Amino acid sequence: MEQVDFTSLPTFIAKVLDTICFIWATSEHYNTPSRIIVILQEFCNQVIEMIRTFLSPDDVLKGLQGEVEEVLNSITLSVNVLKELYCTYDFCCANMKLFFKDKEPVPWEFPSSLAFSRMNSFFHRVQTIEDLYKTAIEFLKLEKIELGGVKGNILGNLVNQIYEEVFDLVKVFADCRYDPLDPGDSSFDNDYTDFQNKIQDLDRRLATIFCQTFDDCSSIESSAK
C-alpha cells in the first residue's frame, strides 16, 4: 500500500473546516448556503481521494488473503479519520459564534446531507469493508483449532470444512475486478450481502459442532481445553 501520513490528517481537516467557517463568517460572496455547500462537497471529495490513495482500490481487498491484520489496521485508521471529520464538523456547527467575533453568528441551517452525501456513502463503504475484515479474521482462526475427545477427528474435519468455505468466500473479494472503494458501484454490496447470508449459516453450523464437542467432553478439565 502507498503510505500517506495520516497522523497529520485530523489536524489538516480541522484547519480546513475552520477556514471554511471563517469564509462563511467574513466573505460577502460565499456567505450563502448553496456556495458553502459546494466548498464542503469539494473538501469531502479531497478527503475521499486521500483515503482512496492510502487504501488503494486495487489492494484493499487483496489483504484478505495476505497481511490481513496490517490491512485492517489501515482500514480502521481511515475509519477513525472519517469519524474525526464528522466530529469536527459537528463542533464547527455548534460553535459558529467563534468565527463571527463581534457579529451575530449565522448558523449552518442546511441539512448536512447536502454537503456530505457522497462522504456518507463512502464512509459506510469503508466501515463495511472493516466489518468484512473483522469477520474474516475471526473465521480464518479456525485453521488452527484442534478438537479432542472421541469425536475430535470427525468434528475437527467439519470445522476444517467451514474454514475452507470461508476461505473461498473471502477469495471472491480478493479476486474482485470492481472498485470496492467506489460506493456508486453496487458490485461490492451484492457480494457482501451474499457473504453475510452464507456466514450466518456457517456460524450456526459452527455452533452445532462446538455443542457436540462439549457434549463429548467427560470432565470440566477437558471442556476447558
* Cα 127 versus chain centre, distance: 2
Among residues 176, 41, 45, the alpha carbon closest in space to that of 112 is found at 41
Choice among 54-58, 76-80, 145-149 with the minimum mean pLDDT: 145-149
> pLDDT tens digit string along 37-58?
999 999 999 999 999 999 999 9
Element (H, E) at 38: helix 33-55
Q: How confident is the model at residue 143 (pLDDT cuts 50, 70, 90)?
A: confident
Q: Give the phi and the psi of residue 96 in degrees, each rounded to 5.
A: -60, -25
pLDDT at residue 214 in the model: 63
CA atoms within 13 A on the CB side of 185: 11
| Burial call 94-114: b when 16+ CB within 10 Å, e when fewer | eebeebeeeeeeeebeeebee
C-alpha cell of 124?
Answer: 459506510
pLDDT category at 2 given cuts 50, 70, 90 is very low
Instruction: Enter the C-alpha cell of residue 184.
Output: 456508486
pTM value?
0.88
Query: Per residue in 164-199, pLDDT tens?
Result: 999 999 999 999 999 999 999 999 999 999 999 999
Q: Is the pLDDT of residue 105 over 70?
A: yes
Instruction: Please write down the HEC assignment for all residues of 58-124.
Output: CCCCHHHHCCHHHHHHHHHHHHHHHHHHHHHHHHHHHCCHHHHCCCCCCCCCCCCHHHHHHHHHHHH
Residue 52 DSSP label: H
- The stretch 16-25 carries a mean pLDDT of 97
Query: What's the pLDDT band for 151 if we cut at 50, 70, 90?
Result: low
Residue 3 has what pLDDT?
Answer: 47
Q: What's the start-to-end Cα distance of the chain, in Å?
A: 40
pLDDT surpassing 80 at residue 78: yes
On whether the CB atoms of residues 89 and 39 are closer than 8 A, the answer is: no
Provide the pLDDT for residue 212. 74
